[in-house]
């Protein structure tokens, strides 16, 4: 196989070699439509690697192979132009135009492509060079703030992917992110794509655009197109950056002097076991001393000949986290080959990508973070003898540095994606496509907590999971405990479709009809745990050394009994586009999906859509006006589905362990049903109506779009409580609720200034969205129309919840006590259910609605400046109108416990006699709005350097330079995805400020 790859590479390289019989020198100048010179424009001799870059005055000089060669002139933001030399001239003036670039842009949609000017649907397109840059490891961060209606929230943790929500949350289950399609392969894990390999990203927003993907498209579809080779040039590209990250903000905790003054003032005292005269900054103690270092290297080779092209790349990324023992590294190798045959009527494509990643996680990360702010500053990190300081007499009081350094938590993944595509051009405008793809993800995970952790068992060790999960007691066995698992997911897809593209006078028809077959196998593997190791340095690498059988009551954890899943999807789909005179545009799609994950009575679903557009600028009455270059009104309606976010066997009855019972002097294992069957389980359906307008004015200088949409989800899938008389298990996964999202999106592109040496272009996008659970009640379900949830379980907060699922309210609705200041005795009081004031509120009963975690407005503002060879990018991003429940602040606002756990500086005026001060309430709900300077990049383009270097660009980037916000926590960008958005609950991974230096070279 390796020899075959080498031969293929040599073959394609040979296609790009050209013999020059005679050299001809030519010269010229590249101008824009106003006659202004374009510096750093590219001039290429077609079919060769011979190219030059224009100087400051737009001039160029080069040798070409013959007098009748073809030149290709290109410049970012302008239409490419091909010029055939006539043999009699040696000097040429070439003008490039920019007015139609956006209109003529090719947009990738499901099972085909189309020009932006003739779209009837809501699609946003981002070019690869417009994506966010920096120390970025996933596509979500690249798109953050770039697309209206796309809400992306990221963590400072390098091992955690971004949460991406498009046009509001559509479901109550965990599947809320968009569906990714990479180079036509549906459902690709986006981690296999290197950012430098991305050509364009098209975000399909409305159901008329996404319905062609049916049951997987309820949350939107993101189409990623990667770079390919070109027959016109052979090119080697190298890009890299080196960066350093530091924490941008920390919580303002009391130091030892402040805490001593507070305790003395309030007649409190530290336990001698804790007070060792130290002044420890525990937040700093768990950070890397010199900041976190990051680097990236990308090397690509591309080219081709008259009947084929190739693209190969290797990318290596390493990103340290700012916390101790936090690291991420990835190597991606990619090869893409296209070969044409039979007079270019047949195109065969081969794409192979392999991504190998390693995640070094912080052991017991969330607990270590919690301890870093609650640990007393008077306690030292280490004792005089160098051992870690601990006080195991005090429960839930652990040294966070010891937690990290005495544990291992690692994950390795290998992600392979391979595809073979064939496209055959047939007579009468037909073409046939066959796509075969295979994906395989292998993961290897290990955790080890050495014998030191055994001491924590006596101090009551609770984990600190992300909301909405609730903390649980953890036991670390004896003499070290280990966990090891290995799982494999595989995905096989066969898709076959026929396209028809035909013009009859003023009528144009584009149609596609096809078939899709997909089979997924998930969780194919095993897990085991062990304890009682003879030494600590074996880590999780050899469970056989353990002697767990000698530990009384120890039970090996073999993992989730529902880990293994197998599911199948079978689909037929069709789409028809009709175009009359490029003025009146119609589109209709239909997809029929069958899924094994649903009940036997409802395994098939239908997902239709229809859309239309009117290009007003093409009408006769618009011909004499000089305002609009383009004006299009469009409308659409469509329906999509959701088949993810739940187990493949959710609709079936499953039996398992139900604990033990005492019989005849011993505990006997009990087994029985723990999941109820639901043969009527069916698709969630999301219908979207969209009305939009696209426009271009001032001869292409200003363009934009505005969309208004309404998205309604019905038959939401959720695990509802039911009467145990009807269903012995007491719960059932069923269809039962509805949800709606309504919003407005707008984007504006302005080429504000363009002179010989200076230019400024700016892009603005903004969006609003209103989310509402419109139905939750069902005659079969108990609990009425609401479900209280999200229980962080901070100290003294037992049973307190923060949010509620409620008819008429959004997902992320806060529901808690209403703070009403302090009474005459200085004790915090709250508004009771009947409106009176009380210092003894009842959990749940005296709760009030208190705002939503859903943002009201999202903003992105991108500015690009050029001056001669300098370029500057300034990108702002804003989120407005959302609330954050700062449970972290509440848990650190306990003056009565200042002698055992640290408190915030803001709590210095609180009285220890106020035992209500810290209760979860509206007192700790804050405005989460912010404006962030996300990216500031300054670059310099040296152009062509020497004989072999076509272009060198150096740049420096600062990410997260500053944030303007009233939020008092670590950072206002808390989790916006999932079913518990907007909750800051002692699980914050510090946000960072990044400085990096980068280099791009083209050979």
> What is the DSSP track for 61-92?
EEEESSTT-EEEEE-TTS--EEEE--SS-SEE
Residue 648's pLDDT band (cuts 50, 70, 90):
confident
How large is the average pLDDT for residues 435-451?
96
* pLDDT higher than 70, residue 426: yes
CB 206 within 8 A of CB 686: no
CB 932 within 8 A of CB 874: no
pLDDT for the residue numbered 24 = 79
Instruction: Locate 286 and state its tokens.
Output: 């768990």
Query: Distance of CA 263 to CAs 267, 270, 440, 910, Å?
Result: 6, 8, 58, 11
pLDDT for the residue numbered 851 = 94
Residue 178 DSSP code? P
* pLDDT higher than 60, residue 742: yes
How large is the average pLDDT for residues 139-167?
89
Buried/exposed code over 941-975 (b: 16+ C-beta within 10 A; e: otherwise): bebbeeeeebbbbebebbbbbebebebbbbbbbbb
How large is the average pLDDT for residues 256-281?
93
| pLDDT tens sequence across 324-365 | 999 999 999 999 999 999 988 999 999 999 999 999 999 999
* pLDDT higher than 80, residue 588: yes
pLDDT for the residue numbered 443 = 96
Residue 1001's pLDDT band (cuts 50, 70, 90):
very high
Among 4-13, 625-634, 835-844, whose mean pLDDT is lowest?
A: 4-13
| Cβ neighbours for 34, distance < 8 A, ≥ 6 positions apart | 754
* pLDDT higher than 80, residue 103: no
Residue 156 DSSP code? S
pLDDT for the residue numbered 104 = 55
Angle at 387 between CA 383 and CA 388, to 5 degrees: 80
The gap between the terminal CA atoms of the chain, to the nearest Å, is: 29
Which run of H or of E encompasses 719? strand 702-721
Rg (CA), the chain: 31
Among 255-264, 440-449, 657-666, 906-915, whose mean pLDDT is lowest?
A: 657-666
CB 300 within 8 A of CB 316: no
List of E strands, 643-665: 654-663
pLDDT for the residue numbered 575 = 95
| Cβ neighbours for 363, distance < 8 A, ≥ 6 positions apart | 325, 403, 404, 406, 407, 408, 409, 447, 449
Per DSSP bridges, beta strands 870-880 and 430-449 are unpaired
pLDDT for the residue numbered 98 = 61
pLDDT for the residue numbered 858 = 96
Length of the chain in residues, anyone? 1003
How large is the average pLDDT for residues 517-528?
94
Residue 842 DSSP code? P
| Cβ neighbours for 501, distance < 8 A, ≥ 6 positions apart | 429, 431, 509, 510
CB 212 within 8 A of CB 204: no
Query: What's the CA dihedral at 942, 946, 950, 954 to 10 degrees?
Result: -30
| Distance, CA of 254 to CA of 259 (rounded, Å) | 6
pLDDT for the residue numbered 8 = 40
How large is the average pLDDT for residues 607-612?
94
| Distance, CA of 486 to CA of 92 (rounded, Å) | 64
Percent of residues, the chain, with pLDDT higher than 90: 60
| Distance, CA of 201 to CA of 105 (rounded, Å) | 12
* pLDDT higher than 60, residue 7: no
| Distance, CA of 894 to CA of 904 (rounded, Å) | 9
Half-sphere CA count of 416, side-chain side, radius 13 A: 8
Q: Report the 10 Å Cβ neighbour count for 834.
A: 7
Instruction: Locate 619 and state its tokens.
Output: 């009408």
* pLDDT higher than 80, residue 17: no
Among 200-204, 445-449, 754-758, whose mean pLDDT is lowest?
A: 754-758
How large is the average pLDDT for residues 298-313?
90
pLDDT for the residue numbered 216 = 86
**Between residues 91 and 419, the one the model is more confident about:** 419
How large is the average pLDDT for residues 94-117?
72
Instruction: Locate 376 and state its tokens.
Output: 């007393």
How large is the average pLDDT for residues 929-957?
91
By C-alpha distance, which of 983, 976, 820, 811 is closest to 886?
983
| Distance, CA of 476 to CA of 479 (rounded, Å) | 9
**Between residues 50 and 892, the one the model is more confident about:** 892
Tokens 């011979």 label which residue?
50
List of E strands, 184-234: 185-186, 198-204, 221-226
pLDDT for the residue numbered 101 = 46
Among 92-96, 102-106, 371-375, whose mean pLDDT is lowest?
A: 102-106
| Distance, CA of 445 to CA of 866 (rounded, Å) | 47
| Cβ neighbours for 831, distance < 8 A, ≥ 6 positions apart | 817, 818, 820, 837, 838, 846, 848
Q: What is the mean pLDDT of the chain?
A: 89
* pLDDT higher than 50, residue 6: no
| Distance, CA of 247 to CA of 361 (rounded, Å) | 18
Among 15-29, 300-314, 472-486, 763-777, whose mean pLDDT is lowest?
A: 15-29
Strand-pair partners of 166: 150
Backbone angles phi, psi at 889, to 5 degrees: -65, -40
Q: Given phi > 0 = left and psi -120 to 50 = alpha, else beta, which region is 483?
A: beta
pLDDT for the residue numbered 106 = 74
By C-alpha distance, which of 122, 83, 120, 115 is closest to 100?
115
Among 103-107, 480-484, 488-492, 972-976, whose mean pLDDT is lowest?
A: 103-107
Q: Report the 10 Å Cβ neighbour count for 37.
A: 17
* pLDDT higher than 50, residue 11: no
How large is the average pLDDT for residues 425-448?
95
* pLDDT higher than 70, residue 555: yes
By C-alpha distance, which of 685, 926, 687, 977 is closest to 811?
977
| pLDDT tens sequence across 211-229 | 999 888 888 999 999 998 8
pLDDT for the residue numbered 560 = 86
pLDDT for the residue numbered 100 = 44
CB 846 within 8 A of CB 830: yes
3-state secondary structure of 41: coil
Residue 525's pLDDT band (cuts 50, 70, 90):
very high
């Amino acid at each position: 196989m390796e020899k075959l790859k080498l031969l293929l590479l040599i073959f394609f390289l040979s296609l790009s070699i050209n013999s020059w019989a005679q050299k001809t020198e030519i010269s010229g100048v590249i101008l824009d439509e106003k006659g202004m010179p374009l510096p750093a424009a590219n001039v290429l001799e077609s079919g060769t690697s011979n190219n030059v870059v224009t100087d400051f005055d737009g001039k160029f000089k080069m040798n070409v192979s013959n007098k009748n060669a073809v030149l290709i002139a290109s410049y970012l933001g302008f239409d490419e132009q091909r010029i055939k030399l006539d043999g009699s001239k040696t000097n040429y003036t070439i003008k490039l135009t920019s007015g139609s670039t956006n209109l003529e842009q090719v947009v990738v949609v499901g099972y085909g492509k189309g020009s932006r000017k003739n779209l009837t649907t809501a699609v946003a397109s981002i070019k690869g060079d417009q994506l966010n840059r920096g120390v970025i490891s996933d596509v979500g961060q690249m798109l953050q703030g770039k697309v209206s209606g796309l809400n992306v929230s990221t963590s400072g943790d390098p091992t955690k992917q971004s949460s991406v929500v498009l046009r509001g949350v559509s479901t109550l289950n965990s599947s809320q992110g968009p569906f990714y399609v990479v180079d036509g392969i549906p459902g690709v894990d986006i981690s296999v794509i290197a950012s430098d390999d991305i050509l364009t990203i098209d975000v399909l927003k409305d159901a008329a655009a996404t319905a062609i993907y049916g049951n997987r498209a309820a949350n939107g579809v993101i189409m990623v197109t990667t770079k390919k080779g070109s027959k016109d040039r052979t090119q080697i590209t190298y890009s890299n950056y080196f960066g350093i990250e530091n924490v941008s903000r920390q919580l303002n905790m009391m130091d030892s002097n402040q805490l001593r003054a507070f305790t003395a003032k309030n007649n409190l005292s530290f336990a001698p076991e804790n007070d060792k005269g130290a002044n420890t900054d525990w937040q700093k103690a768990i950070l890397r001393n010199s900041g976190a270092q990051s680097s990236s290297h990308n090397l690509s080779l591309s080219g081709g000949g008259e009947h084929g092209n190739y693209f190969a790349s290797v990318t290596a990324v390493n990103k340290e986290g700012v916390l101790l023992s936090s690291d991420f590294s990835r190597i991606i190798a990619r090869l893409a080959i296209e070969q044409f045959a039979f007079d270019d009527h047949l195109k065969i494509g081969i794409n192979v990508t392999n991504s190998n990643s390693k995640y070094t996680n912080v052991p017991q990360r969330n607990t270590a973070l919690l301890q870093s702010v609650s640990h007393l500053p008077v306690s030292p990190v280490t004792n005089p003898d160098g051992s870690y300081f601990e006080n195991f007499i005090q429960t839930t009081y652990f040294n966070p540095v010891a937690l990290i350094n005495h544990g291992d938590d690692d994950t390795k993944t290998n992600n392979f994606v391979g595809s073979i595509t064939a496209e055959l051009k047939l007579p009468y405008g037909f073409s046939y496509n066959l796509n075969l793809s295979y994906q395989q993800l292998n993961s290897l995970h290990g955790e080890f907590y050495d014998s030191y952790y055994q001491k924590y068992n006596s101090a009551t060790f609770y984990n600190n999971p992300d909301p909405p999960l609730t903390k649980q007691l953890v036991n670390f066995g004896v003499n070290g405990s280990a966990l090891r698992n290995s799982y494999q997911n595989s995905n096989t897809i066969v898709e076959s479709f026929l396209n028809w593209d035909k013009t009859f006078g003023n009528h144009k028809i584009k149609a596609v009809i096809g078939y899709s077959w997909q089979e997924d196998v998930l969780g194919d593997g095993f897990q085991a745990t062990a304890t009682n190791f003879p030494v600590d340095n074996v880590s999780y690498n050899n469970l056989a050394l353990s002697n767990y059988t000698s530990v009384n009551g120890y039970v090996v954890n073999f993992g989730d009994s529902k880990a293994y899943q197998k599911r199948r999807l079978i689909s037929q789909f069709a789409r028809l586009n009709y175009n009359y005179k490029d003025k009146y545009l119609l589109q209709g799609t239909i997809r029929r999906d069958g899924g094994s994950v649903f009940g036997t009575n409802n395994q098939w679903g239908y997902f239709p859509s229809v859309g239309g557009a009117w290009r007003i600028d093409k009408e006769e009455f618009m011909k004499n006006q000089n305002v609009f270059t383009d004006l299009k009104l469009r409308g659409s309606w469509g329906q999509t589905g959701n088949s993810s976010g739940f187990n493949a066997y959710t609709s079936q009855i499953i039996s398992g362990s139900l604990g033990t019972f005492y019989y005849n002097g011993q505990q006997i294992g009990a087994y029985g049903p723990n999941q109820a069957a639901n043969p009527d389980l069916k698709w969630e359906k999301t219908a979207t109506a969209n009305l939009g307008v696209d426009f271009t004015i001032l001869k292409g200088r200003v363009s934009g779009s505005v969309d208004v949409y309404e998205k309604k989800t019905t038959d939401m899938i959720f695990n509802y409580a039911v009467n145990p008389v009807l269903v012995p298990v007491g719960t059932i996964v069923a269809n039962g609720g509805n949800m709606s999202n309504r919003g407005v999106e707008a984007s504006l592109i302005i080429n504000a200034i363009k002179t010989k040496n200076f230019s400024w272009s700016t892009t603005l996008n903004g969006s609003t969205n209103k989310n509402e659970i419109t139905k939750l009640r069902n005659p079969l379900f108990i609990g009425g129309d609401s479900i209280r949830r999200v229980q962080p379980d901070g100290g003294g907060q037992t049973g307190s919840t923060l949010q509620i699922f409620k008819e008429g309210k959004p997902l992320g609705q806060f529901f808690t006590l209403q703070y009403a200041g302090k009474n005459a005795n200085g004790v915090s009081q709250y508004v009771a259910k009947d409106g009176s004031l009380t210092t003894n509120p009842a959990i749940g009963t005296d709760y009030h609605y208190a705002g939503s975690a859903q943002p009201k407005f999202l903003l992105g503002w991108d500015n690009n400046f050029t001056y001669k060879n300098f370029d500057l990018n300034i990108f702002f991003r804003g989120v407005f109108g959302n609330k954050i429940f700062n449970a972290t602040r509440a848990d650190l606002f306990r003056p009565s416990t200042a002698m055992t756990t640290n408190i915030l500086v803001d709590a210095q005026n609180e009285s220890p006699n106020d035992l209500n001060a810290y209760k979860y309430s509206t007192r700790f709900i804050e405005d989460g709005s912010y404006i962030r300077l996300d990216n500031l990049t300054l670059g310099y383009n040296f152009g062509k350097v020497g004989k072999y270097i076509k272009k060198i660009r150096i740049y420096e980037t600062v990410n997260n330079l500053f944030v303007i916000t009233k939020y008092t926590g670590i950072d206002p960008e808390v989790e916006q995805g999932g079913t518990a958005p907007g909750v800051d609950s002692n699980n914050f991974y510090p946000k960072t400020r990044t400085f990096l230096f980068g280099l791009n070279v083209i050979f």
